[in-house]
Chain A
Amino acid sequence: MSPGPIPFDTLFDPGFLASLSHLSITVQRVAAGGRFGDRLSKDLGAGIEFRDYRGYSPGDDPRAIDWNIYRRLGKVFLRLYEEQQDLPLYLMPDVSTSMFHEPEPRALTALRTALALATISLSHHDSTALFPFAEKMEMRVKSMSGKASTMAFAEHLARLSPPADAGTNLSAALRRLADMNLRRGLLVVISDFFDPAGLDAVRDALRSIRHRMLFVQLVRPSDAEPDLDGDLRLLDCETGEAAQITVTPHVMERYRETYAQFNRDLAALVKYHHGGLLRLDVEQDLVTQLNTLFAAGSLVV
């Protein structure tokens, strides 16, 4: 039986949102082709801030011709301005069973993190999309912008729950996203990354992703130091597969090594794709952790 969605009141806390209002996400340069927004795009045109000149080419907007230069030099040049465009934010929270399994589910932190990032993005008039995933990815919100949309976005988040027998297939979700051919933006994957296919499958899928990426890894202390002892049959909450172990100091040491290697591999993978990695402890206060991460008031991706 799949766990239900997290109640709205638990997820949508006005105090929590208010504490995040001063945070922002900065992308070094936004891809061209988007709507007007607060971000600097690669498009040179309709903005107000002068950047450069270039020669006229047929088809250029005649309104950009600098007639003063033409008068002085007799040649046609175009004035180029920085164009202010929005930053598409693609939120991919993990809604697999493992995110809802424990008494303090990781999904609570995941969805609150998603809501925090969405709130920041919406307040900057950025386009925000919601693509939750488990075995498959689905499109809940294709595009939403403006501060007024925060409540609507929160309601979308509050309705998320794991599908029946939902496992984790991040690679399939990423491929589906790539196939959607969305405008380049910021892709935020919020998950525990416990994909049975492993990071190799994710690595392959990431090759087709053109977005800037931010991975938010949800961890808890028991991931690194499980409180297990004796002869155990471990049952995977998603797949139901069993693993029989006899917990000994040696086995625990090997587990710790394996888990640490997993984290190192995940960090290397994100780094390879020039993305960012946030590691949030679900048993710690989220606001405090975000304030630490957004130490300068802005998170640069």
Chain B
Amino acid sequence: MSFANLSALGVVAGLAGLAALLFVLQQLRTRYRDVTVVTTLFWKQVTHEAPVRKLRERFRHPLAYALILAICSLLWLALAEPQLGTRPDQTFHILVLDGSAGMAAGSRFEAAVDALEARVAQLPSDRRQVIWSGAQIRPLLNPGEHALLLRERLARMAPDAAPASLERLLRQLSATSTGGTSETPTSILVFGDAPVRQQVLDLVPASVTVKRATTPAPLVGNSGITALGISDAASGAWDKVDVFVQVQSTGDRRAAPVVTAEHAQSVQIEVNGQSIPGNAIARVGQGVVVADLPAEGGLLTARIVADRSGADSVPLDNVASLRLPTKPILKVQLSTSLQAVLGPLLGADGGVTMVSGQPDVVIRRRGESVGGNAPALEFVPAASQSQAFLLTHPASLDSNVVFTDAVADIGLQQIDAMSLARSSGRPIEVSITAGSQWRFSVWEELLADDFDFTRSRAFPLFVANAVRWLADTEMWHPYVAAGRPLIASSTGKRAEILGAGGRALDPVGVDFVPSAAGELPVSGRAAALSVSLLDPDVTTGARDESLDTATRAQADLTPATGLVTGLLILALIVLTAEWYFFQMGRMP
């Protein structure tokens, strides 16, 4: 015999504890109510009263003790759910409920939940765990927890607008199993349609079996947006971007995008709620392109609009959004002494306009008064500055952070420092200091013909990046998809993704991966990033044959319901006996 909810030791310990507790309670002195009577002559003959003022009384009611102990023991055993069957093995069962966007199709999620609950009811509670595999991977029901908790927790859950995370889960479980010393066989049963590649299954240890609870039904009648991205405008306009949208349908991952009126669905693209006219949308390859959208930070939304007959299976992939970048034309004032060297270069930069006053950035030699207090790219004599490149930032900022960002943003690592060092006869160093304003000081000797710096291919990029770094332009994201690392443009001020409480979720050096579609607050910006599903597997109903489907699950153990019911009935009988004895006056 075994027990579903408690170990055998726990059952025995519980019974012993109950017996001891009830014994002590039986011996505790009753709290009597004082009543004054004319005589106690007859009562003394009736009862053998215990001595007064004693904590303990003699054991007066063995029958009552026996009955209450029997009742409590039966209830305790019922709670432990004894199992009469013998276990075929000691397999630990991990039941994975797929909570990805694909489960939102039709009644897939509800069917999976029903199958999961049925399976949980068959398994001993100490040898099963239920894990949610959606945007987050987290336990739904831990070993030992009662199955009723699962129903309560599932009642408030629905598939997340996120790609399947089953492979990630399997990798984690595989890593855990590999690192452990336990050889306990483990069965992973997947309730859902999340695809798994064979190479992921190959990582699973031999003691772990992975199966799917049911054969996934093919997804039909679904179209969705599988890509939404932006890039610099092909026209060369600095302050505009091009947008690419890809739409796919079920059963054919290579299908041409459906954007024409004769298809079941059509695509609407809008910016800040204002639709882009159809004639501005061009069909290109596997997608559609909208060219030269103003890069003014608007919210770009692509939406699939179903016609009257088109029932869409998965609604979560019908809309995708992306925050457009903010790319203003920078006003640069250039001193006349540098006009010959840098004038043509800046004139060719579409993101820059030359001004004679109130600049965003000024380029000058040290000592020149042009540009006032604007952030400055200054060329200084090498004799006055030991470092070839010196960054100056406001004192309120952290030098380390600024330095790290600046090296990447300006692209200093792409400069051939060795060549410059050979030409100058001095080491080429980069340093940073705190000051009153943004400034980037560079040896003016580097502009001389003796150096190849101005003729190198890195120089225009160096100047353009330096100007943008000084102007503090914002970094932007070409696409933001759930489940994929957040990619940012190569230049611009980096913004941190904020979580609850304003805590940064993407510390330096770690690629942030949005878990689900939605919005991501970012530091220093009023508008949040918009994350979209953009998962071809979900939209096309990708299927895999890697996972075997579990045969009709045979109960590992004899269902305990009957035994529990019997115990409860027995407890009721004993309770009735106690009532009878009480009525007969055999018990207090």
Contact = CB atoms under 8 A, between A and B. Distances in A.
Contacts of A249: 582-585
A194 B41 contact: yes
Contacts of A195: 41
B37 A236 contact: yes
A231 B585 contact: no
Given A232-B33, A244-B50, A245-B49, A238 B588 contact: no
Interface in A174-205: 192, 194-196, 198
Interface residues of A, number: 38
A41 interface: no
Nearest to A98: B38
A69 interface: no
B42 A259 contact: yes
B301 to A, nearest CB: 75
A151 interface: no
Interface string A236-251: 1111011111101111
B404 interface: no
A234 B584 contact: no
A101 B32 CA distance: 22
A255 interface: yes
Interface of B: 30-47, 49-50, 52, 582-588
A231 B30 contact: yes
B42 A244 contact: no
A196 B46 contact: no
Contacts of B36: 101, 234-237
A249 B587 CA distance: 9
* Main DSSP-derived SS at the A contact region: mixed
A162 to B, nearest CB: 12
Contacts of B583: 249
A245 B60 CA distance: 12
Contacts of B31: 231
Contacts of A241: 40
Given A196-B39, A226-B37, 6 more contacts: A194-B41, A232-B34, A242-B40, A246-B30, A250-B587, A258-B42
B29 to A, nearest CB: 9
B41 A244 contact: no
Nearest to A238: B39
Contact of B34 (A235, A255, A258, A259): A235
Contact of B585 (A196, A237, A253): A253
A260 to B, nearest CB: 10
Contacts of A237: 36-39
Contacts of B47: 243-246, 251
B35 A242 contact: no
A270 to B, nearest CB: 18
B583 to A, nearest CB: 6
A102 B37 CA distance: 8
Nearest to B36: A235
Given A230-B33, A233-B32, A233-B33, A245 B46 contact: yes
Contacts of B37: 226, 234-237
Contacts of B584: 249-250
A17 interface: no
A254 B46 contact: yes
A160 B46 CA distance: 34
Nearest to A102: B38
Contacts of A244: 30, 32, 47, 49-50, 52
